[in-house]
Structure 1
Amino acid sequence: MKKRKLLAIAVSVAVVGTLSVLGITNASAATLDPTLPPGGNFNLSIWQLQLPTGSPGKPDTIQPAQLKGVNGYSNPAYFWTDKNDGSMTFWAPEKGVTTPNSNYARSELRETGEWSLSGNHTMNAQLRIPSVTKNVCVGQVHLGSGGSSTKPLLELYYRPNGDIYLGTENSPAGGQTLHKVGNVALGVKWTYTINVTGNKINLTVNGAKTSYTIPSSFNPYKQYFKAGSYNQSSSDSTTNGAKVKFYALTVTHA
């Protein structure tokens, strides 16, 4: 009896470990309900949503209480559930309201809590990008309180030719280094896991892992995750932009 129980536990751990590596979580495509708003399929209680609408320098922000649950917020232009596959869909045009420190519009979730580098922090996602003009950021770790910098610690980019790049900030003062971390054809699903523990970034894209050292100059800062469509190009067009569809998105802190 003990042997059977141990075997069952081992199989369970192996399966969970495999899913974790792939970035596939309990919000997988098989369990998404196309009739529900995004908050009915995903845990949005830890997020606020930044939209490309509002007044100059002050984009509209939707709070967690409005996002979460089966009656949660959706927007047919910028943030909705795809009726065909249940994905949480973000659209960011090239022309839209931006935050004060950016020239680019976004439809993007921002984690409401902040955390320190001393812990173990992970964001898992399964997604695909049906359309993008030049470049779109689909995941971030951003600097929070602890200093005057408004920079990200890292940004994960996707380009129309399928190239995926990780941008790591050289210091809180700025300067980003790009690392090519994969290639996935436009419209094809892929997964990422962003893990930050101590002064180390561990990135997994479709099972391929790379690691990067975080300079000690970031130690005073708290951090938070971001995910969605943060378009990296601007113009006078409201029809060109980046559409990003998430089939899984989870965050854990330890």
Structure 2
Amino acid sequence: MDGTVRRIALFAGALALALTACGGPPPPQPTVAPTPEPAPSAAPSAPPTSGAQYPAEVLDLDNWYLTLPTGREGDPDDVYPPDLDTFSDPWFRLTDAGDGVVFTANAGGVTTEGSNYPRSELREMANGELASWSNTRGTHTLDVRQAVTRLPDMKPHVVTAQIHDAEDDVVEVRLEGVRLIAEYDDGDGEVVIDPAYELGTPYDLRITAAGGSVEIFYNGRLAANIPERGSGWYFKSGSYVQSNPTRGDAPDATAAVVLYALRVEHSL
């Protein structure tokens, strides 16, 4: 630094000190930008939960008993109330979200006597006894909200709801591939409810038996009116897989049906 510049710098410094001593404005200070606060990290979203621990806390199962694809051949395991109130296992469990009940039946499971196919399925009861009624008197209605979530590969068929009598099925609602149908008259009668059902899609189903016929409503629309009449009837719902290893499916191939709502009403 030459002498002139040095003298100017010293003079400026002395002037600044003098101004400060006399209450003048201090020299400007460098500004420092504040460090920004880190953005809060988004918490991972957890699946909704109902807080339920058992299927009976989601569905009213007081007037049902459950048949499972386990047990001895021809004599599968049954679970009745009140044991059903606190029962859950891999074949009958809550959805991960706790908003429905998953019924699963495997092709190689135990079957009831007189059937070739396993099931994880509810059977209607009435006041602790087996339900039995006639559609020639009163009105008998089953309302369910359900979804089929899995089918076996070789024979992709499952019954999700039915009216049964003392001997055989009367009306079955069943998914065959993508065709959701109502089947009756020992399989000789058929009404297509949905020709292109997509797995996992919830739907509302109502089966009403009255006046010597059976009406089936699908998502609020009348889909079938079946001229069947009889007595000794009762409702069933769940997963009644329509395959077994003789049909080409592996023993662990499964059909799964989720029930989100279940209600029965009888009026005389």
User: Would the TM-score normalized by the shorter structure come out above 0.5?
Assistant: yes
C-alpha separation between the residues in 2 aligned to 1:34 and 1:102?
37
Structure 2 equivalent of residue 209 of structure 1? 222
Q: Is the 8 A contact 1:93 1:239 kept in 2?
A: yes
Corresponding residue SS for 2:82:
helix
Structure 2 equivalent of residue 38 of structure 1? 55
For residue 91 of structure 2, the aligned residue among 78, 86, 105 is 78
Unpaired runs of 5+ residues, structure 1, are: 1-30, 145-149
Name the amino acid aligned to 1:89. Answer: V
**1:187–1:152 CA distance, 2 compared to 1 (3 A):** same
For residue 154 of structure 1, the aligned residue among 163, 166, 171 is 171
Give the TM-score taking structure 1 as reference length. 0.77
C-alpha separation between the residues in 1 aligned to 2:119 and 2:205?
20
C-alpha separation between the residues in 2 aligned to 1:32 and 1:205?
27
The Cα shift of 1:37 comes to: 0.5
The Cα shift of 1:233 comes to: 1.0
Structure 1 equivalent of residue 232 of structure 2? 222
Corresponding residue SS for 1:39:
helix
Name the amino acid aligned to 1:226. Answer: K
The Cα shift of 1:239 comes to: 2.3
C-alpha separation between the residues in 1 aligned to 2:174 and 2:187?
16
Structure 1 equivalent of residue 13 of structure 2? none
C-alpha separation between the residues in 1 aligned to 2:73 and 2:188?
26
Corresponding residue SS for 1:64:
coil
For residue 168 of structure 1, the aligned residue among 180, 184, 196 is 184
C-alpha separation between the residues in 2 aligned to 1:34 and 1:166?
35
The Cα shift of 1:177 comes to: 1.2
C-alpha separation between the residues in 2 aligned to 1:176 and 1:250?
29
**1:203–1:237 CA distance, 2 compared to 1 (3 A):** same
Structure 1 equivalent of residue 23 of structure 2? none
**1:184–1:34 CA distance, 2 compared to 1 (3 A):** farther
Aligned length: 207
C-alpha separation between the residues in 1 aligned to 2:76 and 2:49?
29
The reply on whether 1:66 has 2:66 as its aligned counterpart is: no
C-alpha separation between the residues in 2 aligned to 1:223 and 1:202?
15
Structure 1 residue ranges (4+ consecutive) displaced by more than 3 angstroms after TM superposition: none
**Bigger relative contact order (CA 8 A; separation at least 6):** 1
**1:126–1:34 CA distance, 2 compared to 1 (3 A):** farther
C-alpha separation between the residues in 2 aligned to 1:227 and 1:209?
20
The Cα shift of 1:32 comes to: 7.4
Give the TM-score taking structure 2 as reference length. 0.73
Unpaired runs of 5+ residues, structure 2, are: 1-47, 126-130
Aligned CA-pair RMSD: 1.8
Structure 2 equivalent of residue 109 of structure 1? 122
The Cα shift of 1:78 comes to: 0.3
Structure 2 equivalent of residue 130 of structure 1? 149
The Cα shift of 1:181 comes to: 1.1
Q: Is the 8 A contact 1:199 1:213 kept in 2?
A: no
For residue 165 of structure 2, the aligned residue among 143, 153, 171 is 143
The Cα shift of 1:175 comes to: 4.9
Structure 2 equivalent of residue 22 of structure 1? none
Corresponding residue SS for 1:239:
coil
C-alpha separation between the residues in 2 aligned to 1:34 and 1:96?
31
C-alpha separation between the residues in 2 aligned to 1:175 and 1:203?
16
Larger CA Rg, structure 1 vs 2: 2
Q: Is the 8 A contact 2:244 2:251 kept in 1?
A: no
